[in-house]
Amino acid sequence: MKNALAGVGGSKTRVHGHDDGADPPGPTHRDSARQMDGAWRVWESLTNWDERYARWVDIAVAVGLFLFCSGWFFQAGPIHTNVGFDAALTAPLFLRRRAPFCVFLVISVVAVVQLVTSTPALADASLLVALYSVSAVSQWVRVVVSLLILQVGVIAATVHWDPVGSHFESLVFLTGMNFAAFLTGAVVRALRGQIDWLAERAQRLEYERDQQASLAAATERARIARELHDVVSHNLQVMVTLADAACVTRSQESDRATEAMREVANTGRQAMTDMRRMLGLWRDETRTSDPLHTPAGPVDPPQPRLDELEALVERVRATGLGVSITWEGTPFELSEAAELTAYRIIQEALTNTLRHAASADAVQVTLTFDDPDVSLCVVDNGQTALPTSVRSFEGAHGGHGVPNMAARAAAFGGALRAGPIPSGGWGVATTLRLCRAPALA
């Protein structure tokens, strides 16, 4: 069995530490971040309010622009004759969110008629509002078309009306107003896209966090299930074997039968204690009265170490099975995970011997220390009570012993070998890689 493990290799992995030497952000960075966060909150509040009362906002814009441009608020005397055009230019703004490009085209047609038949009016600012609406939400092709149409109108108005007093000044002023409306809409579009991206990213991060928490919980449940299997399977098998022995010897050797039943009781108490420790991990973390819980959360129960192998062997010997342990090489300090893995593999191998090996009366456990690796070998001299395929691959028939041992060994870069040996009996062997405990800084 040992020779079969000679080719099993492992890879060393170096974990580089993170350099925490960078200075934390100063007060200026924190203040800037706080100001940016406040600005985003204000912007988000405004956009939420605008979307919630969109219809009323559009009505207020159209009505307010009409009243202001028609001169009702500040003009004394009769209303000027352009009030019809004022109404025609501002009324389409009611629908500027539903069909911004169509609204812009309608207002443009009205503006062309006004250019030919009337004089300039303040209501022509409706074209800027319409261009802003197109730039904020429409496709970029329509935005460019709208910008070009309005720029042609600017040139025509400059030539026909000369509103500022000089053609050059009128062209510069009106073109500036044109591009200001366009850029305002583009900025609003960019801000909305940024907010949507941030919201989507936050939702995705929250989903990934929940997924990671679920995976971590599933991994922890699987680990606890393996521990429960090892604890319950081993102790119950020892109890069953002791009870069978007591039934056989009670009529002839009452003292030995009494000792066997006492050992059954002790093993049962040990199994109950281990189960309470493991099941304590599944309790609600808010139950602070549980001794396994602290205000900071659940605490893992103490795990068996290699120095507890003698107690494990004594329990197995009480069943009448002779177990001997051999320590080879120079022992070194193992990590807690490596010690637990080695202990559980040996425990499961002994449990399988009690359960499946007919006529076995001796088991040899060998631990070989070859810094930083540890080799395990458990060999019995019995004949398996089950076919080789069943005992080797219990997982296919409802058992989990060999698959659990293989999974534990794989976690340390080892390949488990389980099967009959040429001299008779059954053997389990593996080599755990990189088991040395990390050096303290």
Chain-centroid distance of CA 167 in Å reads: 64
Q: How many CB atoms lie within 10 A of CB 125?
A: 16
Q: What is the maximum alpha-carbon separation in the chain?
A: 130
- Which pair of tokens denotes residue 86? 């004022």
- Which pair of tokens denotes residue 163? 């509103």
Asked whether 104 and 130 are in contact (CB, 8 A), the reply is: yes
By mean pLDDT, which of 88-102, 139-153, 375-389 is the weakest? 375-389
- C-alpha distances in Å from residue 50, one per residue of 54, 127, 364: 5, 21, 80
CA distance 328 to 208: 48
Task: Give yes or no for residue 384 having a pLDDT over 50.
Answer: yes
Percent over 70 (pLDDT), the chain: 66
Q: What is the pLDDT of residues 194-253, one digit of tens each?
A: 877 887 888 888 888 888 877 877 776 776 666 666 666 666 677 777 776 667 666 666
Q: What is the pLDDT of residues 33-74, one digit of tens each?
A: 455 566 667 767 777 777 777 788 888 888 888 888 776 655
Task: Give yes or no for residue 352 having a pLDDT over 70.
Answer: yes
What does the pLDDT read at residue 342?
A: 92
Asked whether 226 and 404 are in contact (CB, 8 A), the reply is: yes
Say what angle helices 83-90 and 100-117 make with each other, to 10 degrees.
Answer: 160
Residue 394's pLDDT band (cuts 50, 70, 90): very low
Residue 272's pLDDT band (cuts 50, 70, 90): low
What does the pLDDT read at residue 331?
A: 92
Residue 31's pLDDT band (cuts 50, 70, 90): low
Q: What is the mean pLDDT of the chain?
A: 75
- Which pair of tokens denotes residue 145? 């078309």
Superfamily of domain 305-441: Histidine kinase-like ATPase, C-terminal domain (3.30.565.10)
Task: Give yes or no for residue 346 having a pLDDT over 90.
Answer: yes
Residue 163's pLDDT band (cuts 50, 70, 90): low
CA distance 283 to 144: 64
The pair phi, psi for residue 297, each rounded to 5°, is 130, -175
Asked whether 4 and 431 are in contact (CB, 8 A), the reply is: no
Chain-centroid distance of CA 147 in Å reads: 46
The residues spanned by each domain of the chain are: 50-208, 305-441
CA distance 351 to 247: 21
Asked whether 378 and 349 are in contact (CB, 8 A), the reply is: yes
pTM, 2 dp: 0.42
